[in-house]
Amino acid sequence: MAPPNTDRKDWPLFEIFIRPKNGLSHKHVGSLHAADARMALDNARDVYTRRGEGVSIWAVPAASIAASDPSEKASLFEPADDKIYRHPTFYDIPAAVKNI
């Protein structure tokens, strides 16, 4: 048997964002592997837009995303839970105003 090819490296991971239609923002849909950005866009087209899901694709190297640490969840997010006054729910909205 031939020795295993130790040169083989996995392609870098890309996170894929798709804009479902004009006017909406890009939404994260998943991730994939690709050798470079152009291949990431092609692969995203084939993997995530086969059923007419989108009008625009962003491919972002996963290594470029700065993510919050899950272990800091309590200190980062829980303080907001008991500050209901930050929600604009105390205003009377005139009936004539729509789309709020």
26 counts as binding another protein under rule CB under 8 A? no
Handedness of CA 24, 58, 65, 13 (dihedral sign): positive
- Gap between the Cα atoms of 10 and 77, Å rounded: 35
Cβ proximity to another protein: between 38 and 73 the closer is: 38
Residues in the chain: 100
Stretch that binds another protein, among 45-53, 57-65, 72-80, 81-89 (CB under 8 A): 45-53
Residues making contact with another protein (CB under 8 A): 11, 32-35, 38-39, 42-43, 45-47, 50
